Structure 1
Amino acid sequence: MKTAIYPGSFDPVTFGHLDIIKRASRMFDEVIVAVMVNSAKTTLFSLDERVKMLQESVKGLSNVRIEHISGLLIDYCKAEDIHIVIKGLRAVTDFEYELQIAQVNKELSHNEVDTLFLTTSLEYSYLSSSVVKEIARYNGDVSPCVPDFVADELDKKYGFK
């Protein structure tokens, strides 16, 4: 069974994330979406909220499961015998950042973990969780960016519902 892991903060999950998840689910027997704790980021949604939004988002994908990870991704990969990390790329700047992380993961895993880069579909190439939060903060329409239930959660966080 070939398993891949797709890590991220998913604060909140966007249609761009879901595009990568759906495409990866067609490539692998199992895809683990790992909601990460990133000490360098302050999140809008709690870890539990992000996990719940992702679980709702992937309901129709039987080979996708949601996990949360608070340590190093590479340690989780070793413990679970996972050798493929999926990362989505929107632009060259994403590649520069993600390439460095992929190289560190490769080194820390003693060449046991590879990173597969998937370019985001063009219709979602402008999307980021940060952009979505900025639109939502000013009560803008995020419906082209996130599932309806995520838009509702954003409205609640910013006091619009």
Structure 2
Amino acid sequence: MNRLAIYPGTFDPFTNGHLDIALRSVRLFDSLVIAVTTNAKKTPLFSVPERKELIKKSLPEDVNISVESFDGLLVDYAEKRGSIIVIRGLRAVSDFEYELQMALLNRRLKPSIETIFKMPSEEYSFLTSSAVKEIALLGGCVDGLVPAAVKSALIEKFKEKN
């Protein structure tokens, strides 16, 4: 049986913290899907196709990770993909309340879906996509915060905006 896990998020942009969680998660399962979605509460810097491409460029070639996008309910997407496992990252206690609420709602909608919380490696515990965007917007250095492909895309995107 193929144990497939889903790692959903907006990933705008994909950070080294996201990469860390993805690479550590795929070691626990046969395969992992990084599932890119939208969030009505956020205004994205990159389109969904751009985000998918940046994630693909950020992944090592020898890992069993695919990148897809979805709309609608996460639990419906997971069920359609044949997965009962959702991976969510927790950086701090402040993330826990929101993530717990979402996990409980998802369980209510589809009791067969399990949410697994993973903490990033200590070096990424402070890292957020919002902070990366602000640093890049203000001309700061994002080395070590994002993969090289994302760094290049951020530089280009903010050149276009200015």
* Shorter-chain TM-score above 0.5: yes
State the partner residue of 1:117.
117
1:147 CA drift (Å): 1.3
Residue matched to 1:159 = 159
In structure 2, runs of 5+ residues without a counterpart are none
Aligned counterpart, 1:150: 150
Q: CA deviation at 1:35?
A: 0.3
Partner in structure 2 of residue 137 of structure 1: 137
SS in 2 for 1:158: helix
- C-alpha separation in 2, matches of 1:63 and 1:124: 23
1:41 aligns with 2:53: no
What per-residue deviation string (whole Å, max 9, x for no partner) do you get for residues 136-158 of structure 1? 00110001201122111101111
- TM-score (ref. length: structure 1): 0.96
- Tell me, yes or no, if the aligned pair for 1:22 and 1:61 is still in contact at 8 Å: no
Q: For 1:28 and 1:112, how far apart are their aligned partners in 2?
A: 17
Consecutive aligned runs of 4 or more in structure 1 exceeding 6 Å deviation: none
User: What corresponds to 1:83 in structure 2?
Assistant: 84
Measured against aligned partners, the alpha-carbon deviations of 1:74-123 in whole angstroms (never above 9, x if no partner) come to 111121221000001100011111000000000100x1001000011110
CA contact (8 A) 2:58 2:148 kept: no
CA spacing shift, 1:61–1:40, aligned 2, 3 Å: farther
Q: Which runs of 5+ in 1 are unaligned?
A: none
Distance 1:61 1:39, change over 3 A: farther
Q: TM-score if structure 2 supplies the norm length?
A: 0.95
1:21-48 Cα shifts (integer Å, max 9, x gaps): 0000100001010001112211000011
Looking at structure 2, the residues matched to 49 and 90 of structure 1 have their Cα atoms a distance apart, in angstroms, of 25
Q: Percent identity?
A: 47
Bigger shift: residues 129-138 or 58-67: 58-67
Secondary structure at the counterpart of residue 68 of structure 2: strand
CA RMSD, 1 decimal: 1.3
The amino acid of 1:142's aligned partner reads V
